[in-house]
Amino acid sequence: MHAPSPDRRHFLHAVAGSAALGLLPGAAAAEPAAPPSEFLLAPGVAYLNTGTIGPCRRATLEAAERAWVTLEANPVAHYGRFAGEALIEDARTVAARFLGCDLDELAVTTSTTSGMNAIAEGLRLAPGDRVLLTDQEHAGGLHCWQYLARHHGVLLDVVNIPRGEFDAGAIVDAMARRIGPATRVVSVSHVFSSTGLRMPIAELSALAHARGALCVVDGAQAVGAVRVNVRELGCDAYATSGHKWLMGPKGTGLLYIAREAQARIRPMAFEATYATYSASSGVVNLPGLLGLAEAIRFLERAGMPEVERRNLALRHALAERVRAMRQLTIVSPPAGALASPLLTLLLAERFDRSAVSRALLERHGVAIRATHPEFGFNGIRFSFHEFNTDGDVERAAVALRAELAG
């Protein structure tokens, strides 16, 4: 466990014992484990867009760069050397520990999308088999099922999760009502990229299993943002990205397939073995994976419960600061079990979300994203991670007030 700095320790001590640790709306965030100076972010930019792509710390890039330079001196010899030194398995080893699974349940990929594709392909579903989804799935966790529907006669059942539905029990009930005898898979995001709602995955896994289905999770917006333990979630497969909340190199990803599910989910790429290099997976971006291992070790040292608490505190602080603005509505869940470090605001119709997002960056140096067109609402989304500060929250609030005035 990484020893907190004196100020951070003081803060932790000050809030220890509070039942509302970090969940207290408006609570001050602790000093970040990685101050903004450890990143290469452009000076003056409050980067609140980790949900789209996260920044790497300098140390992460240096770890990747060291490997890259060594490798390029004699590619064949050094690729073999990395393999010989077991460094090739660094990312898998540290990621398995981080996610709470065994090494032989964890494969490396290039993105959440590639992990979800591997799961869908590896299931070998038959015509008439059904997959249960929500209407909040991101393309990266949806296209694989749409492909099977288009080309293999698989049927998709899509449950509407209405905006403002913040009752976990009601969400599970809505999913339960749509499971039938032909449902083979329940596939959902752990955290919705639209509103940041954190789905009750443990309950949905139990539901799927009770009906003889598998539970597959798109964890792009969860791993590194909040504490994730795949065994506690009870799901059968879980795909995530290295380049978002883990703050790893771009084009890295992780795929968990529970041992018990491995006979039913057999992706072609991992047919030989889940090892980082195999006859069925081929050569991988080893420098990127060594950088990812460094990035995950950093989050381990910072401690995910503390990272999560701090991310939520920042997110709640912005929610409190903008709540009274009549030009917008908060569409993310309130503080509690369904909240995540994403905060999405629905803008009044007269505002164009892309223009507001652009103006926030160009006029105020606040980097966010406009909600994806496929979600069909006029929203903007803020992501809070380890390097963000109370000052970033303040800047975002001031910028919003300025841009939405009148």
Ligand X SMILES: Cc1ncc(COP(=O)(O)O)c(C=O)c1O
The residue ranges that bind ligand X (CB under 6 A) are 52, 111-113, 138, 140-141, 189, 193, 218, 220-221, 241, 253
Closer Cβ to ligand X, 14 or 139, answer by number: 139
Q: State which residue has the least CB distance to ligand X.
A: 140
Closer Cβ to ligand X, 39 or 238, answer by number: 238
Closer Cβ to ligand X, 189 or 357, answer by number: 189
**Nearby residues of 248 by Cβ (< 8 Å), 6 or more positions away:** 54, 56, 60, 242, 288, 291, 292, 295, 296
Q: Which residue has the tokens 């009148």?
A: 406
Closest CB 191 distance from ligand X, rounded Å: 7
Long-range contacts for 336-339 (Cβ within 8 Å, ≥24 apart)? Answer: 336/23, 336/166, 337/168, 337/198, 337/200, 338/166, 338/168, 338/197, 338/198, 338/199, 338/200, 339/23, 339/196, 339/198, 339/312, 339/315
Closest CB 173 distance from ligand X, rounded Å: 23
Closest CB 15 distance from ligand X, rounded Å: 30
Closest CB 119 distance from ligand X, rounded Å: 12
Closer Cβ to ligand X, 140 or 287, answer by number: 140
Closer Cβ to ligand X, 144 or 290, answer by number: 144
Closer Cβ to ligand X, 141 or 379, answer by number: 141
Closest CB 111 distance from ligand X, rounded Å: 3
Closer Cβ to ligand X, 223 or 347, answer by number: 223
Per-residue burial over 63-84, b = 16 or more CB atoms within 10 Å of its CB, e = otherwise: bbeebbebbeeeeeebbeebee
Q: DSSP letters along 92-142, please?
A: HHHHHHHHT--GGGEEEESSHHHHHHHHHHHH---TT-EEEEETT--HHHH
Closer Cβ to ligand X, 101 or 255, answer by number: 255
Closest CB 70 distance from ligand X, rounded Å: 27
Residue 303: C-alpha distances to residues 32, 248, 260 (Å): 12, 17, 29
Residue 332: C-alpha distances to residues 97, 204, 266, 307, 337 (Å): 30, 20, 36, 20, 12
Closer Cβ to ligand X, 134 or 183, answer by number: 134
Q: What is the Cα–Cα distance from 69 to 262, expressed in whole angstroms?
A: 37
Closest CB 46 distance from ligand X, rounded Å: 20
Closest CB 140 distance from ligand X, rounded Å: 3
Cross-strand bridge partners of residue 188: 217
Q: Which residue has the tokens 């991670």?
A: 385
Q: What is the Cα–Cα distance from 63 to 223, expressed in whole angstroms?
A: 21
Q: What is the Cα–Cα distance from 148 to 221, expressed in whole angstroms?
A: 24
Closest CB 81 distance from ligand X, rounded Å: 29
